[in-house]
């Protein structure tokens, strides 16, 4: 034994060579395919959001830890990963300042105020996403694809439309609208395969999650008499299911570590996602399913924790040396030690059976409630201030975008002004009453604008109309009409929620150009090839979309003729 060097340390005595930064870096690498695809598909603004979220998260952690004099942990890459995950869960056209607020909330409120890495009770990125959804619901649910505001496939299915294998194919490849990182299943599965090969994550949670959800969706589709395979595959490929299952439900801090705990957690995620998607008000349910399940992780681990070796075992008396009373005391002490090992706060009081009772920390609960109230109050005030500051710039940006759309369909316009500003009697209500009386009951006039030339003469109109009969919901379009030449100058879509690859072809130039220069009058469509200026070719496989657009254009022409039949405004 002489010369033997022994090292004394606290448990655990067997340690992994992997560090926190190594694990975080592996997840970041796994997310690269989805990130690159999202930036490629949605453009420079999506790339800017990714960069801003990562930088904001990193700076938030650095500044907070400096201010409270904690050890700076920025180098462990956890803040960078949180920022990246948040960015991939954001719409590609979200204002940058909202992304900054989300990043700060994720790091400061969800992570640092609860003790930092390893202490947060829910996934910080998803907590921030849900916070943004509640605070800025319009911007967080507005998705732009190919320059047009569109609904995601899940939203279209929520409205009653049924998918086919073509839609599933588009969803699998990523040719759809959605958040930056959720659209391409291929890119996400490549990243998941990397994590599994590197053994960064266990497949138990994601596979149980996806399997449970798929089973529930398949049963629901069968009951509703839908095509089970197409409906189930569309739900698996849609929304943030793959992103959430492989990259966020597997978060070390907020998911169970016990084998059976992982299974229970996965089943719970699948059931919650199914309920929220099918019966909830929104089309998606992954984010809320994960953070709700995160709250149950301590309970799941307590129920599924393996029994410590020797816990609860009776020590046999040795030749009468240990009395029955002494044996009871030993058993009580063993129970107390075991309770302390699994971090259950208990009193020292036992009942007659030797069991230990849990004690509620009233002071701690009150303190937590007060802290959460103060945080909510401060963040609410901050959001209100930011909203007041940014309300006008956002409004100006929206107005500029609309003006650019108007300029596209009526390039000769020198001035565009609402008819309501020129006439007290011609209101939107009057316009819609007149339109509906003329038989266009499925259309609503949103704006009726007068177009004048540089000399102030009235030369036409730009009518913004919404048709409610689109395959995926309302279709809002602007129609330019020349009164001088009695023709349509062009159309532009403001909202189009149709099926990718089918109805969304309405936004392509080939379809829109058919309306340009069409004579003033009723327009119809055909499936056999147009031979008239007032007849357009229908979109193959999207007759409903073609009919809705044509009806909307006709209603714009009709209301222009009814109101300005003589080329002037009569009050």
- Distance, CA of 563 to CA of 571 (rounded, Å): 10
462, burial (CB in 10 Å: exposed 0-12, middle 13-18, buried 19+): buried
Give the CA dihedral 311, 312, 318, 321, nearest 10 degrees: 110
What does R_g of the chain's alpha carbons equal in angstroms?
A: 31
Q: What is the largest CA-CA distance in the chain?
A: 117
- Distance, CA of 166 to CA of 158 (rounded, Å): 18
Rounded to 5 degrees, φ, ψ at 398 are -65, -40
Question: For every one of its 571 residues, what pLDDT tens digit does the chain have, with 9 covering 90 and above?
Answer: 556 666 666 666 556 667 888 889 999 999 999 999 999 999 899 999 999 999 999 999 999 999 988 888 888 889 999 999 999 999 998 999 999 999 999 999 999 888 888 888 889 999 999 999 888 887 888 887 766 667 778 877 776 777 888 888 888 888 888 899 988 999 999 999 999 999 999 999 999 999 999 999 999 999 989 999 999 999 999 888 999 999 999 998 889 999 999 999 999 999 999 998 888 877 788 999 999 999 889 888 888 887 766 655 555 555 455 555 655 565 555 555 444 444 444 444 445 454 444 455 667 667 766 766 676 667 666 666 766 776 677 677 767 777 778 888 888 888 888 888 777 778 888 899 999 999 999 999 999 999 988 888 888 999 999 998 888 778 999 999 998 888 999 999 888 878 777 888 898 889 999 999 888 888 999 888 877 888 999 998 888 899 999 999 999 999 998 888 643 333 3
**Residue 155: enclosing H or E segment and its boundaries?**
helix 153-158
**Listed residue (508, 498, 500, 496) closest to 168, CA to CA:** 500
pLDDT at 571: 37
pLDDT at 341: 45
Q: Which residues of 343-376 are buried (b: 16+ CB within 10 A; e: fewer)?
A: eeeeeeeeeeeeebeeeeeeeeeeeeeeeeeeee
DSSP assigned state of 245: I
- Which parts of 225-323 fold into alpha helices (H)? 228-237, 241-243, 259-279, 286-295, 297-304
What is the pairing mode between strands 143-145 and 148-150? antiparallel
Which residues touch 501 (CB under 8 Å, ≥6 apart)? 166, 167, 170, 175
Give yes or no for a contact between 498 and 504, defined as CB atoms under 8 angstroms apart: yes
- Which parts of 68-95 fold into alpha helices (H)? 78-88
Q: Contacts from 305-312 at CB under 8 Å and sequence distance 24+?
A: 305/258, 305/342, 306/258, 308/338, 308/341, 310/334, 311/338, 312/338
- Which parts of 305-446 fold into alpha helices (H)? 324-341, 362-409, 428-437
- Distance, CA of 226 to CA of 398 (rounded, Å): 40
pLDDT at 175: 84
């Amino acid at each position: 034994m002489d010369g033997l060097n022994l090292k004394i340390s606290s448990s655990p005595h067997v340690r992994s060579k992997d560090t926190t930064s190594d694990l975080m870096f592996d997840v970041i690498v796994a997310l690269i395919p989805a990130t690159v695809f999202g930036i490629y598909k949605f453009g420079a603004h999506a790339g800017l959001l990714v960069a801003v979220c990562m930088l904001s998260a990193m700076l938030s952690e650095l500044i907070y830890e400096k201010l409270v004099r904690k050890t700076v942990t920025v180098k462990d890459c956890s803040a960078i990963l949180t920022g990246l995950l948040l960015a991939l869960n954001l719409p590609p056209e979200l204002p940058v300042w909202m992304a900054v607020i989300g990043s700060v909330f994720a790091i400061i409120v969800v992570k640092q105020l609860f003790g930092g890495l390893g202490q947060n009770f829910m996934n910080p990125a998803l907590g921030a996403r849900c916070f943004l959804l509640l605070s800025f619901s319009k911007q967080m649910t507005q998705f732009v694809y190919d320059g047009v505001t569109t609904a995601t496939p899940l939203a279209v299915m929520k409205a009653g439309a049924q998918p086919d294998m073509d839609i599933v194919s588009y969803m699998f490849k990523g040719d759809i609208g959605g958040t930056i990182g959720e659209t391409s299943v291929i890119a996400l599965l490549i990243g998941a395969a990397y994590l599994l090969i590197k053994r960064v994550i266990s497949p138990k949670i994601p596979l149980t999650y996806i399997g449970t959800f798929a089973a529930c969706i398949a049963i629901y589709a069968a009951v509703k008499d839908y095509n089970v395979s197409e409906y189930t595959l569309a739900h698996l490929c849609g929304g943030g299911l793959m992103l959430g299952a492989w990259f966020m439900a597997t978060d070390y801090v907020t998911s169970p570590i016990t084998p059976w705990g992982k299974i229970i957690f996965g089943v719970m995620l699948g059931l919650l996602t199914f309920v929220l998607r099918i019966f909830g008000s929104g089309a998606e349910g992954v984010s809320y399913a994960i953070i709700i399940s995160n709250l149950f992780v301590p309970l799941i681990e307590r129920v599924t924790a393996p029994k410590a070796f020797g816990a609860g075992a009776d020590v046999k008396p040795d030749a009468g040396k240990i009395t029955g009373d002494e044996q009871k005391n030993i058993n009580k002490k063993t129970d107390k030690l075991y309770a302390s090992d699994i971090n259950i706060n208990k009193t020292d009081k036992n009942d007659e059976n030797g069991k230990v009772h849990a004690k509620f920390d009233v002071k701690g609960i009150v303190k937590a409630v007060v802290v959460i109230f103060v945080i909510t109050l401060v963040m609410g005030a901050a959001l209100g201030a930011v909203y007041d500051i940014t309300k006008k710039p956002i409004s100006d940006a929206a107005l500029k975008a609309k003006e650019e759309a108007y300029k596209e369909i009526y390039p000769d316009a020198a001035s565009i002004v609402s008819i309501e500003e020129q006439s007290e009697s011609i209101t939107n209500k009057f316009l819609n009453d007149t339109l509906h009386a003329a038989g266009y009951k499925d259309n609503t006039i949103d704006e009726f604008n007068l177009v004048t030339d540089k000399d102030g003469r009235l030369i036409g109109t730009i009518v913004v109309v919404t048709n409610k009969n689109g395959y995926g919901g309302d279709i809002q379009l602007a129609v330019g009409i020349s009164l001088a030449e009695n023709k349509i100058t062009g159309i532009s879509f403001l909202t189009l929620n149709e099926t990718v690859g089918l109805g969304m072809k309405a936004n392509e130039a080939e379809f829109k150009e058919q309306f340009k220069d069409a004579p003033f009058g009723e327009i119809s469509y055909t499936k056999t090839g147009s031979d008239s200026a007032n007849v357009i070719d229908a979109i193959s496989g999207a007759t409903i979309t073609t009919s809705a657009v044509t009806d909307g254009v006709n209603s714009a022409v009709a209301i222009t003729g009814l109101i300005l039949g003589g080329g002037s405004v009569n009050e």
